[in-house]
Amino acid sequence: MNVNIERAKLLAVNLQGFLDLVKRTYEQNSFIVLNQDILYRLNLLVEEFRFQILADELFRLTKYEDEEKQTLKNVEKVNEKLVILEEFVQHNYDDLFIFSGRVHSMRSIINLFDE
């Protein structure tokens, strides 16, 4: 099996988990995040960057071994958008600490592509 395809699958699973966590926390008006305005802005960032579409596309592309080039392009798109999202979470760490673990996991997986 191609290692980059497996890494992309792992990234897609983690990205989907992050999206589910953001959606669930936002829809339930969870008191884990005290400042609901910050949570609303995080939700808007996730929607604006269309992470759900990227996650679905990664799931689709990783089904086929010969789509490695397009998969790597999508990983690069996720990386570009994750940099901004990571900065937002770090800047609002007091309110968004619960999301920092997922963001860190995705960052670590993306860094594996550089090896």
Q: What is the pLDDT of residues 3-24, one digit of tens each?
A: 989 999 999 999 999 999 999 9
Provide the b/e sequence for 50-75 (b: ≥16 CB within 10 Å).
ebeebbebbeebbeeeebeeebbebb
pLDDT band at 1 (very low <50, low <70, confident <90, very high): low
pLDDT band at 2 (very low <50, low <70, confident <90, very high): confident
DSSP per-residue string spanning the chain: --HHHHHHHHHHHHHHHHHHHHHHHHHTT-TTSS-HHHHHHHHHHHHHTTHHHHHHHHHHHTT-GGGHHHHHHHHHHHHHHHHHHHHHHHHTHHHHHHHHHHHHHHHHHHHHTT-
Q: Where are the domains of the chain?
A: 3-112
Query: What percent of the chain shows pLDDT beyond 70?
Result: 99
- Any long-range contacts for 42-48 (C-beta under 8 Å, 24+ apart)? 42/88, 42/89, 42/92, 42/96, 42/99, 45/84, 45/85, 45/88, 46/19, 46/22, 46/85
Q: What pTM was computed for the model? A: 0.90
What tokens appear for 98 in the block?
Answer: 């619960």
Report pLDDT digits (tens) over 42-74.
999 999 999 999 999 999 998 887 888 899 999
